[in-house]
Chains A and B, each alone.
Chain A
Amino acid sequence: MAEQKRTNLTPLRLHVPEPKYRPGDDVDFSDVIVPPVDAVPMPDEAVHPSLIHPLAFGMIRVLDENHKAMGSWNPNLTADRLRLMLRNMMLLRAFDDRMFRAQRQGKTSFYMKSTGEEATSVATTMALDRGDMCFPSYRQQGILITREYPMVKMMNQIYSNSADHMKGRQLPIMYSAPEYGFFSVSGNLTTQYPQAVGWAMASASKGDTRIAAAWCGEGSTAEGDFHSALTFAAVFNAPVVMQVVNNQWAISSFSGFAGSERATFAARAVGYGVAGLRVDGNDPLAVYAAMQWAANRARTNSGPTLIEYFTYRAEGHSTSDDPSAYRAAEEFAKWPMGDPVDRLKQHLIVMGEWDEARHTAQGQELADEVKTAQKEAEKNGTLGHGLHHPFESMFEDVFEHQPWHLKEQCAQMLDEQRNKFGPDWEPK
């Protein structure tokens, strides 16, 4: 059907976002606004969300350019707490490096690093209470590291081996650890958001004191679940902290495809009447302070909070993509917020509580710790090489009680194994 052109009117144009830099481009982030520390001072935790809109558009920062902790958001942590935070972040980085290499060595199918955004899982978890419930996305292994979940168990999961308590069913890194307040990780994005809100609603309805915290990436704020969760959180004033790790990249799609050209992600909170905070995600003290503020707010029935951590995904999305194919290589090196591990290290050094020699020694010690755990985990097998859970376990836990059709299918599968391995084969 030919539409008659109205030549007196401006032709409409479809805007398809394009990141500033592609492979080979020179990177210049001078247009990224890095506000001074305390440009937005800390309000009372019970404040009405409508009074703090600037917090959703500005950026909460604590560490200044001289690595000193300044301003009203300074959480004033002791040197011991800061050293623990640094250690957790370094351990997480060492763990990521080792497991990335294990995947490259063919010991498992998949891995995802959290390099560059360690503060968003480590500092946040340190600001929560141990009983608070975490609903992570797939890049918050720092929660488990911080809560001292055994690394061997994490590796057993990554290897899908005979000691993986999830029986080798889940893609590597999709942990589950109820006794550590860590929800089962899903591969479907942002599904954990309404779930966290539901958990928080349940906690509130039972007069409990524990709150829920959820994480997602900026890309998946586009999912309907994100908006359902914010609606429910606002409507029921749920004791929940919802966090967006804005690491700029969703696999190969830059944050513009989630709407960053028009507004911040923290600004999503405004329309829902939820408190919104935008934070320098590479400033571990600012991250800690924002979570502490939001957690206190939730804990005192003052309302939910949405926090955006402005950070940068230093590595690929996972072991399955090559970031040099879609973005400029020097982006992380030129990232104006720097590296969170380095910034915390410099802060401790400026305080006189740390030095280069101790830092190097700790790096070595943590690498050894991870290596020891890896050797231990590999005794239980690696993916496709050695031990796994019994064949019949495939049919367990579909339901609490196995219905007849699964019993029949299990018998068929065992027959297939006998066919393959010979009549004397026994399931084990």
Chain B
Amino acid sequence: MAIKTMNMIEAINSAMDNMLERDNGVVIMGEDVGYFGGVFRATAGLQEKHGKTRVFDTPISECGIIGVSVGMSAYGLRPVPEIQFADYIYPGLDQLVSEAARMRYRSAADYICPMTIRSPFGGGIFGGQTHSQSPESLFTHMCGVKTVIPATPYDAKGLLIASIEDNDPVVFFEPKRIYNGPFSGYYDRPVEPWSKHAASAVPEEYYRIELGKASVVREGDALTILTYGTMVHVVSAVVADMGVDAEVIDLRTLLPLDIDAIEMSVRKTGRCMVVHEATRTSGFGAELAALVQERCFYSLEAPVERVTGFDTPYPHSLEWAYFPGPIRIGTAIEKIMKE
């Protein structure tokens, strides 16, 4: 296998390149994804290599993009639409919730929707409230869609390939803050590129990472921290700084969730903390906290702690006061360890 150092964008691009080659049903479309190669360059070079009927620009209509993808799925294709920012997905929500997510069920598998919606999500790039949202809990709440969030280039490629090959609709959220490097949460420190991280070693060839399997990023005995996306790296940096023996679990797939990995870890450590960037109320952390107390109550030595974004729209100038950074995480770790 030819291993190459890739950042997350390059790994995602490589996954689509492999899949366009392997499966002539794969089509990639979205706003600016064709000739230009996407506003984040995720599809750079793919139209030139695979042709305009496989990789193309679309009108600015998320309803149209997802609706057309449902129809292409019915024909037998395997569409990989891009929604330019997760914040733009709402006009396409009916086509996703009422159509794509329900097609297998409502038609008893007469029709299926093997589509993967890629979309950059999350903040930390001064994107303001319309370019920073983390709406993942909307998608875990509707039945019939899988939700995948990678945290490294290696995982991004393997998970994206598995998502494209999956015969159900997948929402694949890409944490755009870590496209170019694993963000530590210390926004005033120099940015570290992916090339210094082991997970930037990515095979150029096809490989897959099974959906629904979490990854233990750091083993530990004192505390379990459940997280995903950008926050995997922020949590890891805080844990290293504090010298706490935490077990850090990158969930990678929110639905289907790797409940075995969660239970095993919490039973071992007796403490559980959930960290996500999304707003707090009805966030995915609430689901995780409920599951842990339902299934591991007698192993718990402290209440499950939640560290999240605030229940406000994502602010622009006060971004770092909003972001669940090292101080919020550190305070929560201190609190849960005192119990």
Contacts and interface: CB of A to CB of B under 8 A. Distances in A.
B331 interface: no
A404 interface: yes
A195 to B, nearest CB: 4
A30 interface: no
B312 interface: no
B103 to A, nearest CB: 7
A292 interface: no
A397 B71 contact: no
A194 B64 contact: yes
Interface in A222-275: 224-225, 228-229, 231-232, 235
Given A188-B99, A225-B63, A225-B95, A194 B70 contact: yes
Given A197-B71, A404-B256, A188 B106 contact: no
B105 A199 contact: no
B74 A232 contact: no
Nearest to B102: A186
B256 A403 contact: yes
A289 to B, nearest CB: 27
Between A198, A201, A232, A398, the greatest number of chain B beta carbons within 10 A of the residue's beta carbon is seen for: A198
A200 B103 CA distance: 18
A176 B71 contact: no
A198 B99 CA distance: 13
A187 B98 CA distance: 9
Contacts of A196: 71
Contact of A194 (B71, B76, B79, B103): B71
Contacts of B27: 202, 205
A405 interface: yes
A398 B105 contact: yes
A400 B64 contact: no
Interface in A47-102: none
Contacts of A178: 110-111
Contacts of A133: 74-75
Nearest to B51: A205
B40 to A, nearest CB: 23
B106 to A, nearest CB: 5
Interface residues of B, number: 47
A166 to B, nearest CB: 5
B315 interface: no
B63 A195 contact: no
A259 B61 CA distance: 22
B53 interface: yes
Contact of A183 (B111, B167, B212, B255): B111
A190 B257 CA distance: 34
Given A166-B106, A166-B107, A188-B98, A225 B72 contact: no
B91 A177 contact: no
Contacts of B79: 198
Interface in B120-168: 143-144, 146, 166-168
B74 A183 contact: yes
Contact of B61 (A135, A167, A201, A232): A232
Contacts of B74: 133, 183, 195, 198-199
B67 A194 contact: yes
B321 interface: no
B110 A176 contact: yes
Contacts of A141: none
Given A195-B99, A198-B75, A398-B144, A174 B69 contact: no
B106 A232 contact: no
Contact of A195 (B53, B67, B144): B67
A123 to B, nearest CB: 24
A160 interface: no
A191 B61 CA distance: 14
B190 interface: no
B104 A228 contact: no
Contacts of A165: 108, 110
A379 interface: no
B240 interface: no
A156 to B, nearest CB: 12
Contacts of B99: 186, 188, 191, 195
B296 interface: no
A370 to B, nearest CB: 24
Contacts of A166: 106-108, 110
A174 B110 CA distance: 13
B242 interface: no
A29 interface: no
B107 A176 contact: yes
Contacts of A397: 104-105, 108-109
A202 B76 contact: yes
Given A169-B106, A184-B103, A203-B75, A400 B95 contact: no
Contacts of A231: 59, 61, 64
A199 B72 contact: yes
B26 to A, nearest CB: 12
A421 interface: no
A191 B9 CA distance: 32
Interface string B21-56: 000000100000000000000000000000001100
Interface in A311-353: none
Interface of A: 133, 135, 165-167, 169-170, 174, 176-178, 183-184, 186-188, 191, 193-203, 205-206, 212, 224-225, 228-229, 231-232, 235, 397-400, 403-405
Q: Which 6 A-B pairs have the closest CB atoms?
A: A198-B71, A194-B67, A198-B68, A228-B64, A195-B71, A202-B75
10 contacts: A133-B75, A165-B110, A176-B108, A177-B110, A186-B99, A194-B63, A194-B64, A197-B64, A224-B63, A403-B257
Given A195-B67, A199-B72, 20 more contacts: A165-B108, A169-B106, A183-B111, A186-B98, A187-B98, A188-B98, A191-B98, A194-B66, A195-B68, A195-B70, A195-B74, A198-B69, A198-B75, A224-B63, A225-B64, A229-B67, A231-B59, A235-B59, A397-B105, A405-B257
